Every structure is written in structure tokens, then in C-alpha cells.
């Protein structure tokens, strides 16, 4: 049942039909999974229309993988999801930074100096200058975290 799923677009809310297309399941299956997996709680608006957020789409993909690809039963998948969520909570409590699905770029001091040299604050517009300052702060934060 290995089927490549489409990338999740960068938007805030998804309808049940969109989520079905993104996750390769029918809307009635999503409604059933809401009953079986308590972690799955889409926002409901007028007329009980469901609106899913990005993290819920990822959760549905994980549930789909457990059920369809790994062969878990509903009960087994529910238990596995609870284990996964508990381990994520434990990591957060322990102060670990979770970067699930985020590509981390390794940049050394030389790269930062080259970046700063290539930027001239005088020729930047206000937005670009603000972004430059934010990026510089992020580099400094990353250096502080590397020390710890």
C-alpha cells in the first residue's frame, strides 16, 4: 500500500476533503478515526464543518502509516500514538528541542562572517534590514545553545 502522499501546502486550515486527498483516505474514515483517536480533534465551525490544522494532518498521516503500512490494529495504533505523544511530552519536559521535519543547516562562524560581509545595511530596505537582524540574533542564539 506504499503510496507517495502529496506535500502538505503551507496553509492554516484544511477541510476534510483536502485532508482526505493529502492523506489518501476517505472523509468517512477520518470521521471514524476522530472517534477512535482522542488526540485527533479538528476545529468545528458552522454546520459542524471540520477544519484540520497542519499538526493534525501529520497525525493522520502517522495513523494511516500505522494502520495501512505497518499493519497495526486500531487498538494497537491508538496505543502506539499514545506512546509517541508521551515520549514527545517527556522530551519537551527534559528541555530537548524538537525539530521534527525541519532541516537543520550547519553553519560555522566563517559562513556567518561571509553572510554579514555580503549584506550592507545601507542598501537594504527596512524589511530586509529587520530580517538581517533577526537572522543575526538566531545565529547568536544557536552559538549559545552549542555552548551548553
Say what the alpha-carbon torsion angle 91, 97, 98, 99 is, to the nearest 10 degrees: -160
Residues whose CB is less than 8 angstroms from the CB of residue 129 and which lie 6 or more positions away in sequence, other chains included: 121
Could you tell me the residue ranges of all domains in the chain?
A: 14-93, 109-147
pLDDT of residue 29: 96
Q: Which position has the higher pLDDT, 111 or 74? A: 74
* Of the ranges 68-72, 99-103, 121-125, the best mean pLDDT one: 68-72
What predicted TM-score, i.e. pTM, was given to this entire model? Answer: 0.61
Q: What is the DSSP letter of 92?
A: H
- Residue 1: which pLDDT band, with cuts at 50, 70 and 90? very low
- Report the number of secondary-structure helices (H) and strands (E) in the chain: 6, 3
Out of 15-29, 71-85, 104-118, 133-147, pick the least confident: 104-118
Q: Which position has the higher pLDDT, 132 or 43? A: 43
Query: Domain 14-93: which topology?
Result: Multidrug-efflux Transporter Regulator; Chain: A; Domain 2 (1.10.1660)
The CA-based angle 13-86-24, given to 5 degrees, is 40
CA 20 to chain centre: 18
Rounded distance between C-alpha atoms, residue 12 and residue 53, angstroms: 6
- Cell readout for 117 is 560581509
Mean pLDDT of 5-11: 91
Ranges assigned E (strand) in the chain: 14-15, 43-44, 50-52
Rounded distance between C-alpha atoms, residue 23 and residue 7, angstroms: 10
Amino acid at each position: 500500500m506504499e503510496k507517495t502522499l502529496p506535500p502538505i501546502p503551507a496553509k492554516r486550515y484544511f477541510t476534510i476533503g483536502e485532508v482526505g486527498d493529502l492523506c489518501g483516505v476517505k472523509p468517512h474514515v477520518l470521521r471514524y478515526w476522530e472517534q477512535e483517536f482522542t488526540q485527533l480533534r479538528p476545529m468545528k465551525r458552522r454546520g459542524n464543518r471540520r477544519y484540520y490544522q497542519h499538526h493534525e494532518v501529520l497525525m493522520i498521516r502517522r495513523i494511516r502509516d500505522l494502520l495501512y503500512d505497518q499493519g497495526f490494529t486500531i487498538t494497537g495504533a491508538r496505543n502506539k500514538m499514545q506512546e509517541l505523544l508521551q515520549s514527545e511530552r517527556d522530551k519537551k519536559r527534559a528541555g530537548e528541542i524538537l525539530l521534527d521535519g525541519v532541516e537543520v543547516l550547519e553553519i560555522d562562524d566563517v559562513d556567518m562572517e561571509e553572510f554579514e560581509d555580503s549584506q550592507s545595511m545601507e542598501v537594504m530596505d527596512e524589511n530586509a534590514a529587520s530580517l538581517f537582524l533577526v537572522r543575526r540574533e538566531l545565529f547568536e542564539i544557536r552559538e549559545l545553545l552549542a555552548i551548553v
